[in-house]
Structure formats: C-alpha cells, structure tokens
C-alpha cells in the first residue's frame, strides 16, 4: 500500500529535524528520539556489561574523557554507561547501537571498533551539551564505506611524531580508520633503515635554496609507538614507499640503484624528477630488504608502493637501462610493469596486499592489487570494472593541499581550489552505474601533499574543516547528507576536533588562520 503524500512529507521533515537536533559529525545513519534526558550533572558510573581486554582499553578512554569533562564517576550511581560487546554478532564489524534512556546509556557493538565509534558519538553529544543532560534517543549506525582514509605526505616537509599522533586523535574522533603515511619521495626518506643507514644519513636531508637544512626521519621505535597509538584508535596505518619514480632521495643515498653512476643531491625543488630506480638484481634485492624491514614495523595488511608519475627517459637512454633490457629481452617501457610485478610477489610472500596509484593500471596489474584513483574517478571506475578493489581520492574533491578559497597569487601553482561544500559533496560511487563495479569501491580518502605546507599551523589550516566534511562523506549514507545542517553541526562542535592545547587554533567556520 502506498503512503499518502502528506505522510511522506512528514517523515522527511521528521528526519531533517532529528538530524538537526543531533550535533554529531559524521552524522549517524539512523536516529530515533524519545522523551526525557539522561542527567549526569551530579554523577555517573561506567560498567562493562560484556567485553574482553580490548573493551577494557575502550572503557579507559571513556573514563579519561569523563575526567576531562569533570564528571564525577562513582560506583553504584543510578546513572550508568554500559559497554556491551555482542556475544552473538548480529551487527557488522564497525556498526554500533547507542541507546540513551533517563538513567542508562548502552553502547553495543559486535567488535571493540564498534564500541569505540559509539563512544565517539556519545562524546560529541556530551561536548555539545553545557547542562550535562543528553536527550534520550536510539542510534543505530554503521559506515557507508569500509575504507575511510586520510593521507599525509611527510617527505616534502617533515612533521614529527607528536603531530602524527595529534592527527590520529582527530581521525579517531571522526571515525576515520586508515592513515596513509607517505614516507618517501624525491625530497626526503623518512623511515629508519638498519640495513641501509645512508637512507637517513643522506636521503633524509636536503639543502634549501637559502642554504638552510631541512629534514628528519622516524626511528623504528617511534614508528612502533605510533602504530600502537593508531591501533588504540582502531586506525590501520598504510605506509607508502614510492617506487620506481619519486626515488631521488634513494638514489642520492645509494647511486648504484639509479640509472647513472653519478651521485646526486636530494632535490630542493618539487615536481616530477627524471631520476628513477633502474632495474637490476641489486635494486630488487634492496627493495626486498626494505620491504622486509618496513613490513615488520607495520602489522596492517596493506602496503602502498606509489607507482605514479614514472618518466622512462633514463631507462631508455642510460647504459644500465639498455644493458638490463638486452639481458632480459625487455623494452624499457616494460620496466614499470616489472617493478609492480616484483613488488607484488614480495609483498604477497609476506601476506601483504599491494596498493598503488592509478597509473599502475596501465601495467595490467594482478586483480588482487588495489587501485587508488587520484587524477579523477576515471581510473578508479575502469579498475573497478576490471575487478580491482578501488579507493577513490580524486584531486578535485579530496586534495586538501589545494586552497580553500581562491587566491589569485597562487593561480600558477594550483589548478583548482577546493571549498568546504565541494569536499562535502564527494561521493566515491558517483558516476559508477554498474552494480558490480560499485561493489569494488572500497571507500575514499583525503590527501594532503606538503610541497607548500611548511609548518603545523598551515597544515591544520589546510586540513580543517574539510577533513570533517570528508568524514561525513565516507560514513553517512549519501541520502542522509545535508550541507546546511552539516554547517550547523560543525559550529556546535567547533572546539572539539581542534583544541588550542593540541594544535594551533583556527576558526573552523571562516577558515581564517589566527596569528
């Protein structure tokens, strides 16, 4: 039986009202309000209804939040928050249910990740409230996409472990679950290698045009600490070692892996460089060693090898390139595919899955390789239709190094600019008509390249508030998104994601950095 037209209007209006009354980012997908409030102005208690060791760690974060909010947590309080790890897994992996009644809040999840995400929703409800009273409601929520990522380039400009942890904190608050860490590029190698120490002794540093020295790297102990920090926030770190292009820092440290014997300096300019790795037994042995070291530091299943923007001139013209081509009966334009194939074999032997930028699709890679589509959505759509899993990160929607407002002085630097509403409008499934291809879209990701981002204040200004918008594009079903309502909720949580003690302050709404 069809519903009368006025009933449909009422239901739509009800959905809009309940969203506006729920100051949570990203917006939960199913919210039902009820009468009454949960009053925790005097005291409350935290209990684990059902859980394990991971649940205990989640509860500690809840207790820490309540302590910071100066909530009196005591035993035997009539007002109780329960964490419930489902015995029978009826919810999906990251889904949660949040049920708020006048004297009880219950967060239920099939996994501790679900409990953690439900807790983030509760934190925001408490943060937006000044009277320590939360309206009663029931939320049933699950992400629209399994992959919800943030990328950070630390090669062009280096940012230390404390900054990485600050952004992992924000990612946790926004229910983002993959941190793509771009650790190497032409302008610097940022990960300690015990077997190849010159990578950090020489490859991690460059002399700028004004004579100053820029660089830095993460020790293996720092990386282990950051990986654990991310794990506590249910974030998987995907490291990127960019090859065979974007490898000037490697070649500066070890010229024998390049196409020419001459030593080079780590570049202090940006753009695509002609220095690339040359195929040889020594080069592939080096890469296998580096992958061995790096994969031991990152327990996650996924590893990014770049594979983008590979000029072939040195392969075609150098003696090393010609010699390898003749010895293996290959043309230089087949070297790119050879690198991808060898890295895939090495990573598969370590039970890792390879991710590469859209250009590797031109090498006809194995179907199990994941394609990250950045120039536009065309490569991603094509990859999905060929059976590859795809992460969409088209630059016109997802590149947060692009300015938030148009600046005439930077016309020559940027092809476009990316205002907040456009970041919010991102939909990884846009223009993909095939249902089978849609199933291959794993999710999306914000990218932050740092050629022109030299300090933490600029970094924060570029990322916020667009990362908040991106989180909603990846968590909330497209049918439930509303930009005007998003802006209202953003204002209500203005000081929650970025705090003065953690990062330099910025006005999240007007986008103007404060001096």
Catalytic sites, residue numbers: 185, 246, 309
78 CA to centre of own chain: 40
Eight-state DSSP code of residue 193: -
Annotate 441-451 with b (16+ C-beta within 10 A) or e (fewer). bbbbbbbbbbb
Q: Which residues contact 198 (CB under 8 A, 6 or more apart)?
A: 253, 254
471 CA to centre of own chain: 10
In 147-235, the DSSP E strands lie at: 147-153, 178-182, 184-185, 188-189, 205-207, 213-215
The answer, yes or no, to whether the previous bond of 244 is cis (omega within 30 of 0) is yes
Q: Which of 113, 146, 114, 175 is nearest to 370 (CA)?
A: 146
Distant-in-sequence contacts of 430-438, Cβ < 8 A, 24+ apart: 430/377, 431/377, 431/381, 432/377, 432/381, 432/384, 434/384, 434/385, 436/385, 437/381, 437/384, 437/385, 438/384
Do 207 and 265 meet the contact criterion of CB atoms below 8 Å apart? yes
In the 3-class helix/strand/coil scheme, how is 130-159 assigned residue by residue?
Answer: CCCEEEEEEEEECCCCCEEEEEEECCCCCC
Which backbone phi and psi does 141 adopt, to 5 degrees? Answer: -140, 145
Do 172 and 116 meet the contact criterion of CB atoms below 8 Å apart? yes
Residue whose tokens read 């072939």:
312
Do 138 and 99 meet the contact criterion of CB atoms below 8 Å apart? yes
CA angle 91, 120, 499 (to 5 degrees): 160
The sign of the CA dihedral 499, 503, 504, 509 is negative
CA angle 142, 145, 147 (to 5 degrees): 120
Residue whose tokens read 């059902």:
50
Spatial separation of the C-alpha atoms in residues 308 and 298, rounded to whole Å: 22
Q: Environment class of residue 15 by beta-carbon count within 10 Å: exposed (0-12), middle (13-18) or buried (19+)?
A: middle
Which backbone phi and psi does 95 adopt, to 5 degrees? Answer: -75, 155
CA angle 472, 70, 30 (to 5 degrees): 25
- Please report, to the nearest 10 degrees, the dihedral formed by the alpha carbons of residues 431, 434, 439, 441 taken in order: -30
């Amino acid at each position: 039986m069809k519903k009368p037209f006025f009933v449909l209007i009422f239901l739509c209006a009800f959905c809009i009202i309940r969203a506006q009354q729920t100051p949570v980012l990203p917006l939960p997908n199913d919210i039902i309000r009820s009468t009454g409030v949960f009053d925790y102005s005097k005291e409350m208690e935290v209990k684990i209804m059902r859980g394990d060791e991971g649940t205990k760690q989640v509860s500690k974060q809840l207790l820490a939040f309540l302590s910071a909010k100066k909530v009196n947590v005591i035993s035997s309080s009539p007002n109780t928050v329960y964490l419930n790890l489902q015995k029978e897994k009826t919810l999906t992996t990251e889904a949660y249910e949040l049920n708020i009644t006048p004297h009880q809040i219950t967060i239920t999840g099939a996994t501790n990740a679900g409990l953690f995400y439900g807790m983030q929703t509760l934190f925001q409800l408490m943060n937006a409230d000044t009277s320590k009273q939360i309206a009663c409601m029931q939320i049933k929520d699950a992400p629209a996409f399994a992959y919800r990522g943030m990328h950070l380039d630390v090669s062009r400009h280096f940012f230390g472990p404390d900054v990485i942890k600050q952004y992992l904190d924000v990612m946790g608050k926004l229910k983002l679950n993959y941190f793509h860490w771009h650790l190497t590029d032409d302008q610097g190698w940022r990960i300690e290698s015990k077997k190849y120490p010159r990578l950090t002794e020489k490859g991690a540093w460059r002399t700028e045009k004004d004579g100053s020295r820029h660089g830095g790297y993460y020790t293996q102990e720092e990386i282990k600490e950051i990986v654990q920090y991310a794990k506590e926030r249910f974030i998987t770190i995907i490291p990127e070692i960019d090859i065979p292009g974007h490898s000037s820092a490697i070649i500066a440290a070890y010229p024998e892996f390049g196409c020419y014997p001459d030593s080079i300096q780590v570049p202090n300019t940006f753009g695509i460089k002609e220095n690339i790795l040359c195929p040889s037994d020594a080069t592939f042995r080096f890469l296998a060693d580096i992958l061995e070291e790096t994969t031991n530091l990152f327990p996650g299943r996924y590893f990014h090898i770049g594979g983008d923007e590979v000029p072939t001139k040195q392969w075609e013209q150098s003696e090393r390139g010609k010699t390898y081509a003749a010895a293996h009966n290959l043309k230089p334009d087949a070297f790119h595919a050879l690198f991808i194939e060898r890295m895939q074999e090495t990573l598969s032997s370590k039970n890792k899955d390879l991710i590469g930028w859209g250009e590797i699709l031109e090498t006809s890679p194995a179907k199990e390789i994941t394609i990250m589509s950045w120039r536009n959505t065309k490569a991603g759509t094509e990859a999905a239709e060929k059976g590859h899993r795809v992460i969409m990160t088209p630059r016109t929607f997802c590149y947060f190094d692009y300015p938030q407002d148009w600046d005439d002085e930077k016309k020559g630097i940027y092809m476009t600019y990316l205002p907040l509403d456009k970041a919010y409008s991102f939909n990884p499934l846009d223009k993909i008509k095939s249902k089978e291809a849609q199933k291959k879209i794993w999710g999306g990701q914000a990218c932050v390249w740092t050629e022109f981002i030299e300090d933490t204040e600029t970094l924060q200004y570029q990322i916020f508030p667009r990362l908040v918008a991106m989180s909603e594009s990846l968590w909330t079903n497209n049918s439930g998104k509303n930009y005007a309502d998003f802006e209202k909720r953003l204002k209500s949580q203005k000081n929650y994601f970025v705090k003065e003690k953690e990062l330099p302050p910025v006005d999240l709404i007007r986008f103007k950095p404060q001096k």
